[in-house]
Structure 1
Amino acid sequence: MVALCTVLGLLLGSFANVVIYRVPAGLSVVSPPSACPSCGGRIRPQHNVPVIGWLWLRGRCADCSAPISGRYPLVELAMGVIFGAVAWGAGVTWALPLLLTLAFFSVVLTLVDLDTMRLPDALTLPFAIIAGVLIVAAAAVSGDWWSAARALAGAAVLGAFYFAAVLVYPKGMGLGDVKLAFILGGVLAWLGWAELAVGGFAAFVWGSIVGVGAMIVARRATGVRIPFGPWMFAGAWTGVILGPPIAEWYLSVTGLS
């Protein structure tokens, strides 16, 4: 399963590169076929093999020798490694397809937000639909409708919290963050309350660390903007991986357990 998911991640990493480039530009991800942005020459099938194609071409277009960004194979490689790691950690469970979906959109939306400071509806809406379908399908097959109800509650709670934050301080976040919070709240709550609590809080911890770092580098305390989507994903994965042990530790030290 790990090897299969790794190969799937490599293939989806190639598609992710198309999505990251075309969706913010308002272009179709289906047509036209991938081509060199410099000369317009179409990418040959053998050159589209994830990572290997870029190495084969030595990072240059086969037609005009224009350089091809190293980010393309890095995205493909990262997706493959992340998918393999998720499969290794989750195993063959109902959580696996949902976590793989989270992994795909984590990479895509993180890079789009870093590039454009936007979380487009054209990406968050499919993320929400796919996550919702997987959660309902898992509940229908396993009979665990409580987890699905918990996911809906978690989506509402985290989404409402971010919406309130936008109303209080509109310059700090956008509605794209609110929509993403709704989706992440559902995914994390489906896994458990500990994952939701830790994941929601960790996003602000990561965001604060990066924000302070950005201010130090810029040598100013105001006017420094950072995209928040990447740190929402960082927080979500913190909740997925460390949510239960962190929650248990917190309850023990506070005497609430």
Structure 2
Amino acid sequence: MVVVVAAAVLGLLVGSFLNVVIHRVPRGESVVRPPSRCPGCGQTIKARHNVPVFGWLVLRGRCAGCGTGISVRYPLVELGTAVLFALLALRLDPPDLPAFLYFGAIGVALALIDLDCRRLPNAIVLPSYPVLAVLLTASAWWRDDWWSLARAGIGGAALFAFYLLLALAYPAGMGFGDVKLAGLLGGILASLSWPALLIGAFGGFLLGAVAGVVVLASGKGGRKTALPFGPFMIAAALVAVFAAGPLGDAYQRLTGLA
């Protein structure tokens, strides 16, 4: 429980930083300077008001200087990241945790940026390849399980190639941002297990199809309505992290392979 609580606190802090990333990276701005400020009046946010979740509650969702409303999404991102980090700490062994916490953090940022801007910025996706490679290598070394690292390489290359073929065959339906993200998802999921890779790889299409049906049924869009695919890919990958084991066991029981 100490690890879980520590992960949750870390998630609050990381979530606060992710709010900056989500706002600034698509605009090509630095995530370091200037310090956090109100988009309305430009006043720098004081440290005591910048405490994750609690700062927003103290300010009652408004800037202390000009009274401009602060979106509820800010504390929700912080709280959501904290919950995600805590669940990952419950699910995974400590050697695997750094890689998956990093993946969870960039997943939150990429999903929300894609929803806002229909983009998966290279500034986040491309540096994540060497970062995850180092973290997965460290995990494999710690556990003396080099097959998990080899599996990650195979899975990442395979899912990247699969999405690349889809993008070349149907450019209007898939962007190259999705292709680059697929390599990351394939690597991190395959390092866990082959079932995790399969569930994450095809779960995104299932979630996207369900969302498309909901959009059509609600009358908020038509067959040509474009939906960002990145959030579905990331959501399916997280489902795979938590559900691959139970689903694999259930499949074995149903097929008599257990």
TM-score by length of 1: 0.94
For 1:159, the aligned partner's letter is F
1:1-257 aligned at under 5 Å gives the runs 1-90=3-92, 92-218=93-219, 221-250=222-251, 253=254
* Cα 1:256–1:164 shift into 2, 3 Å: farther
Displacement of 1:250: 3.8
Percent identity for Structure 1 against Structure 2? 49
Contact 2:157 2:183 in 1 (8 A): yes
Query: Partners of 1:110 and 1:16 in 2: how far apart?
Result: 11
Note if contact 1:198-1:246 (Cα within 8 Å) is conserved in structure 2.
no
Deviations 1:141-193, CA, capped at 9 Å, x for gaps: 33321111110000011111111111111111100100110000000000011
Conserved 8 A contact 1:151-1:188: yes
Deviations 1:188-225 (A, max 9, x none): 00001111111111111111101121222336642111
CA distance, structure 1, for counterparts of residue 87 and residue 142 of structure 2: 26
Q: CA RMSD in A?
A: 1.7
Whether the 8 Å contact between 1:218 and 1:224 is mirrored in structure 2 is no
Looking at structure 2, the residues matched to 254 and 171 of structure 1 have their Cα atoms a distance apart, in angstroms, of: 39
List runs of 5+ in structure 2 lacking aligned partners: none
Q: What displacement does 1:256 show?
A: 7.0
Per the alignment, in what secondary structure is the counterpart of residue 42 of structure 1? coil
Q: Which moved more, 1:43-52 or 1:209-218?
A: 209-218
1:68-98 superposed Cα distances (whole Å, 9 cap, x missing partner): 11111111111111111211222x4222112
Q: CA deviation at 1:252?
A: 5.4
Provide the C-alpha distance between the structure 2 equivalents of 1:183 and 1:65, rounded to a whole number of angstroms. Answer: 41
CA distance in 2, matches of 1:68, 1:245: 40
Q: Give, in whole Å, the separation in 1 of the partners of 2:69 and 2:12.
A: 21
Q: What amino acid sits opposite 2:115 in the alignment?
A: L
Structure 1 unaligned segments of length 5 or more: list them: none
Q: CA deviation at 1:254?
A: 5.5
1:245 Cα deviation after fit: 3.2
What is the one-letter code of the residue matched to 2:164?
A: F
Aligned residues: 256
**2:95–2:142 contact (8 Å) kept in structure 1:** no
- Matched letter for residue 210 of structure 1: A
